[in-house]
């Protein structure tokens, strides 16, 4: 039986980019481009009329930008959206906001001028479109809660340099940024644990992710750097393209030379294995939404050493891949829906 074609709407303010994206997508037999739009206003109107299965959406456009269009689309005619992002700090910040608003995933535009053709990222874009249409739309999930710390309110102070007796490792992939914005702001500043966050994301985006989480969190959130010491009330985000490991003296070690594991770097498995060896029963792993099996092997190793492993319940996952693999391999000690995960972390680290 033939698979049903995926109907795609392509949105970009550049006629050259629209033509190039259409050409690249239509080289895939299972994808059919049913329309194009040059700005957010057209995108909202066409999405409501044609009801595509997926939209590729540029961020910077006249009249209405990608974020404005995304918010309207998710409210009026919820659709799987894959963002096209520029490799700039501004592009990274806008893309992360798009993921929080409901986009499933993103693809980085190639750098250059006339080379802005999607040959370099064709396979990645097609793969993510196929994944997006199989994912659960964030609009059907519990809404992301407001940050625990209102904008402009000073961050609560935490004991400087206090060594943690516990470590929490949070691993996530597709749908992860949105989930992290629900979990991390709900963790208290006096959490008696250090937190490590491993989100599958390319270089340049993890710093923006850390900064965005830090703005709403009671914890201090930062992108990890070599030699950082784990501290209570501090959450460190693994940098893109670097595995994050912990040395016996609880310092961060970053490795961008070791091979990708499970096709990714940073890998949740790498961090969990390292933390399991140093902290053993004093460690807690949390596996959130994401495609693939990254985290399953590390969760088993951590559980074998006495640690606790929380897997996100299927009912709240954008993609039920990573949590399912942890559960099926027998690594999970607890299965919890997203809105209760922060509460579960607090309970476990205070046991």
For each of the chain's 351 residues, which pLDDT tens digit applies? 457 899 999 999 989 889 989 999 999 999 999 999 999 999 999 999 999 999 999 988 889 999 999 999 999 999 999 999 876 777 889 999 999 889 999 998 766 544 445 566 888 999 999 999 999 988 777 766 655 666 667 776 665 557 789 999 999 999 999 999 999 999 999 999 999 999 999 988 999 999 999 999 999 999 999 999 999 999 999 999 999 999 999 999 999 999 999 999 999 999 999 999 999 999 999 999 999 999 999 999 999 999 999 999 999 999 999 999 999 999 999 999 999 999 999 999 998
| DSSP symbol at 210 | H
Residue 19 tokens, joined: 């033509």
pLDDT of residue 113: 42
pLDDT of residue 115: 45
pLDDT of residue 263: 93
pLDDT of residue 4: 87
Number of H helices, E strands in the chain: 11, 14
Q: Hey, is 19 helix, strand or coil?
A: helix
Of 212, 214, 213, give the one whose Cα is nearest residue 93.
212
Which residues face 165 on adjacent strands? none
pLDDT of residue 1: 45
pLDDT of residue 87: 67
For the purposes of burial, counting CB atoms within 10 Å of the CB of 64, is it exposed (0-12), middle (13-18) or buried (19 or more)? middle
Preceding amide of 127 cis, omega within 30: no
Looking up tokens 């793969």 gives 127
Q: Would you list the DSSP string of 31-76?
A: EEEEEEESSHHHHHHHHHHH--SEEEEES--SSS-HHHHHHHHHHH
Active-site amino acid positions: 173, 200, 294
Tell me the pTM: 0.92
Between the alpha carbon of residue 123 and those of residues 2, 129, 175, 235, 270, the distances in Å are 21, 10, 20, 33, 26
pLDDT of residue 122: 87
pLDDT of residue 152: 67
Question: Contact at 8 Å (CB) between 212 and 93?
Answer: yes
> Can you tell me the distance from the alpha carbon of 170 to that of 322, in angstroms, rounded to the nearest whole number?
12
pLDDT of residue 151: 65
Question: Contact at 8 Å (CB) between 336 and 344?
Answer: yes
pLDDT of residue 183: 96
> Can you tell me the distance from the alpha carbon of 69 to that of 156, in angstroms, rounded to the nearest whole number?
35
Question: Contact at 8 Å (CB) between 57 and 43?
Answer: yes
Looking up tokens 């409901």 gives 102
Q: Compute the C-alpha angle 9/200/25, nearest 5°.
A: 25
pLDDT of residue 158: 61
């Amino acid at each position: 039986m033939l698979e049903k074609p995926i109907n795609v709407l392509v949105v970009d303010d550049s006629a050259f980019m629209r033509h190039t994206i259409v050409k690249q997508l239509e080289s895939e037999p299972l994808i059919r481009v049913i329309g194009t739009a040059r700005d957010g206003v057209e995108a909202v109107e066409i999405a409501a009329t044609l009801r595509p299965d997926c939209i590729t959406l540029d961020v910077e456009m006249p009249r209405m930008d990608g974020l404005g269009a995304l918010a309207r689309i998710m409210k009026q005619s919820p659709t799987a959206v894959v963002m096209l992002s520029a490799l700039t700090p501004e592009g990274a910040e806008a893309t992360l906001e798009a993921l929080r608003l409901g986009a499933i995933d993103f693809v980085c535009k190639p750098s250059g001028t006339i080379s802005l053709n999607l040959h370099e990222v064709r396979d990645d874009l097609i793969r993510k479109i196929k994944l997006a249409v199989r994912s659960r739309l964030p609009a059907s999930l519990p809404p992301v809660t407001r940050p625990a710390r209102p904008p402009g309110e000073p961050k609560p102070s935490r004991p400087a340099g206090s060594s943690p007796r516990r470590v929490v490792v949070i691993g996530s992939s597709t749908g992860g940024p949105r989930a992290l914005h629900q979990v991390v702001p709900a963790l208290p500043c006096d959490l008696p644990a250090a937190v490590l966050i491993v989100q599958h994301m390319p270089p340049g985006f993890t710093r923006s992710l850390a900064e965005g989480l830090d703005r709403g969190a009671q914890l201090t959130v930062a992108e990890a750097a070599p030699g950082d010491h784990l501290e209570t009330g501090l959450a460190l985000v693994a940098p893109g393209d670097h595995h994050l490991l912990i040395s016996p003296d609880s310092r961060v070690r970053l490795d961008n030379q070791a091979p990708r594991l499970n096709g990714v770097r940073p890998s949740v498995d790498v961090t969990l294995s390292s933390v399991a060896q140093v902290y053993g029963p004093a460690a807690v792993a949390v596996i959130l939404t994401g495609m693939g099996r990254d985290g399953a092997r590390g969760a088993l190793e951590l559980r074998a050493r006495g640690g606790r492993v929380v897997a996100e319940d299927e009912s709240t996952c954008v993609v039920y891949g990573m949590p399912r693999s942890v559960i099926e391999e027998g690594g999970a000690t607890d299965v919890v829906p997203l809105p209760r995960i922060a509460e579960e972390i607090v309970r476990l680290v205070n046991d």
